[in-house]
Amino acid sequence: MPTYKVTFEIAGSPVKYEAWYHDVIRNEHVLVMIYDTACVGFPRTNLKPSSEDIAVLVAGSDAVYVTQDPNISFVFGGQEYKILLIKSTNPLAAADA
């Protein structure tokens, strides 16, 4: 069962997207979201490649990641990997946390 709720907000769009992942890994300037493809019934998002910035909030995190989507995703070993490039990290205000 996925345990990481991730909210995406694309610059210039009034819509926020929510998705669930089994793991979210930050490694320097890369954000990797992992979903076990054997699990069904949870919302995932298929971001369309865009030059617009994407704000990403991982529930429980103390920061918002401003990212770009290089359109890299793949399935390996029964898990789907989605990769975003981190442009900047902005701390959440206490009221937003």
Per residue in 42-75, pLDDT (tens digit) is 877 777 777 899 999 999 999 999 999 999 999 9
Chain segment 1-40, per-residue pLDDT in tens:
999 999 999 988 888 999 999 999 999 999 999 999 999 8
CA distance 34 to 88: 21
Give the list of residues 6+ apart from residue 29 with CB closer than 8 angstroms, or none: 85, 86
Query: Is the Cβ–Cβ distance between 44 and 19 less than 8 Å?
Result: yes
First-residue to last-residue Cα distance in the chain: 24
pTM score of the predicted model: 0.88
Identify the band that residue 41 occupies on the pLDDT scale cut at 50, 70 and 90.
confident
Chain segment 82-97, per-residue pLDDT in tens:
999 999 999 987 555 5
Task: Write the DSSP symbol of residue 29.
Answer: T
